[in-house]
Structure 1
Amino acid sequence: MLNKALRTHQYDILYLLRVFIRHLHEQIAAQHKKESIDQKKLFRGQGMDKADFDRIRMNKNGLLSISNFLSTSAEREVGLHFAREALHDRKKVSVLMEITVDKNTIVPVANIADLSAYKTEQEWLFSMGSVFRIGSVECLPDGIWVISLTLTDDQDEQLSALREHFKKSMTDRNTCLNFAKLMHQLAAWRKSEYFYLMALETETQWQRRSVLFNNLAMVKGELGQYDEALAYYHKSLELKEAEESDSATDKATTYNNIAALYYKEKKMDRAIEYFQKAIKASNAQGNNDEELVATLHANIATILDDQGKYEEALEKCEESLKIRLNFFSSDSSIFSKYLQYYC
């Protein structure tokens, strides 16, 4: 059930199994530290969907991420046995993964032969999320394709950059919120909504609830459910107003988001109304965000231009330009940008 959930991205099940997943990963890591690993090859035979196989074959020197816990064998013949079983399935490509593991790797991979139900298979288990560099892809005479892979670690530049990105964005104490953010970044809107709602059930701090309502509104907007999105934005605003939040920029951003929704719905007058509210909120208490205000004026100019109100649009563009020039040095690229708009 676990590996199926990992492969098919059933995040609701993964959330329920999160403690088990962590413990299994920790046990593999602990076993990995106990034993020295000489550089060696491990093998896995299986049937692979043709589309997945083609992506691997066309991505030589690229990265292959395995989302589930990966069982392999130190015996090549064991891998070939499982690969041969897939030869009779016309919907699958029979593959043998030949995995090179460096003795200095820090990626959790452990010899579990003594724990396995099948001692003769000499089983080794990789933790979930292991990433491999794709090497050669060659076909044996019997029709089995051999995919050469090399286990990567944190020294891989592409992998390190990706991991650092997710580490920075997945640091919240609320596990559901971390899942929601991940789904949001993957544009998995329904799953993101599911975890935002779960996070909302346990969150008590008004500031964090306000953020959750705001994020739910963004998700609903992406789903085209504009009325529900507006309702969530207003809930976010109500909390800020009830608690007398002095974060003017925060309120302005929410007003801007509401205006953007009205723009999508072609309700131009309402959009202008909320863009103006955003400007007022941003300028409140001398807390104004000049870059945001300049953008808001430009947004209004776009709507006025769409409505054929060219003189008013030009005035808004001039306001936006004036604000930007206050904090940008004279730059021909800025002038050219606005001149193009005027023309």
Structure 2
Amino acid sequence: MSTFLSTSESENVARIYAGGDEERTTVLMIILMDPAIRSKVPVGNIDCLSQYGGAECEYLFSMGSVFRIVSVDQKEDDLWEAVLKLTVDQDPQMLEFSDFVRVQIQNSDNPLVTLGNLTNRIHETNGERFYIKALENETDWRERAKILDILGDFYKNMDQYDRALESYQQAFDIKRENEPENKQLLSESFFYL
């Protein structure tokens, strides 16, 4: 089950993803979003993380996002267009589940690490890129070591034990280099190794 609705600002990109399968009805959804409510709903532009170099203009809407149907019209023989309006309404059960998931995945203030944790949690194999990007941008040695430990967990969950060990070792080396006398900090890495 996907926990996000992936969308695009580009109608051309949306049409590509909608496809043209003759055995299925294609529905192009146009989402209207009032800028005044944007900060109140879980939606994010992740275009900077796109593997297509920003060509998708991709936005993710969180599970539990509520839309109102404005209209549904048949535009062509094989294409329907549904206009939806994003609301601030919330589904109480989805809120409870979202809070549970948030606690499970948010062990860092870095949103890239959180995205990586989410992909790890749902066993998606592309989460590595979020951790790598977070490492590229992080300058604090403590955070770098933490990200490397989390990346090691990711690799371990993907049964990539050599890569997991390499990440754990890098985290240990950073901790040992910066606080060689901090036994508690170093013992955390020994646990992973």
TM (norm. structure 1) is 0.34
Paired residues, number: 144
Q: Which amino acid aligns with 1:159?
A: M
Aligned to 1:153: 90
Distance 1:175 1:216 in 2: 14
Tell me, which stretches of 5 or more residues in structure 1 are unaligned?
A: 9-23, 33-64, 95-117, 131-151, 259-343
CA contact (8 A) 1:179 1:192 kept: yes
CA contact (8 A) 2:152 2:168 kept: yes
Aligned to 2:43: none
Aligned to 2:69: 72
- The percentage of counterpart residues that share the same residue type is 18
Q: CA RMSD in A?
A: 4.0
TM (norm. structure 2) is 0.56
How much does 1:73 deviate? Answer: 2.3
Matches within 5 A, 1:222-241: 222-241=157-176
Distance 2:165 2:8 in 1: 37
Q: CA deviation digits over 1:53-105, x for unaligned, max 9?
A: xxxxxxxxxxxx577x957325xxxx3x549956xx9xxxx9xxxxxxxxxxx
Tell me, which stretches of 5 or more residues in structure 2 are unaligned?
A: 1-6, 18-31, 41-62
Relative to structure 1, is the Cα distance of residues 26 and 234 closer, same or farther in structure 2, using a 3 angstrom cutoff? Answer: farther
Matches within 5 A, 1:1-343: 2=8, 27=35, 29=37, 65=63, 72-73=69-70, 79=72, 81-82=73-74, 123-126=83-86, 153=90, 156=92, 158-168=93-103, 169-170=105-106, 172-188=108-124, 190-244=125-179, 248-258=183-193
Shifted more, 209-218 versus 220-229: the winner is 220-229
Relative to structure 1, is the Cα distance of residues 207 and 214 closer, same or farther in structure 2, using a 3 angstrom cutoff? Answer: same
Q: CA deviation digits over 1:156-191, x for unaligned, max 9?
A: 2x2222222344444844331221122122222x32
CA contact (8 A) 2:113 2:130 kept: yes
How much does 1:246 deviate? Answer: 5.6
Greater gyration radius: 1
Structure ranking higher in helix proportion: 1
Relative to structure 1, is the Cα distance of residues 247 and 185 closer, same or farther in structure 2, using a 3 angstrom cutoff? Answer: farther
Structure ranking higher in strand proportion: 2
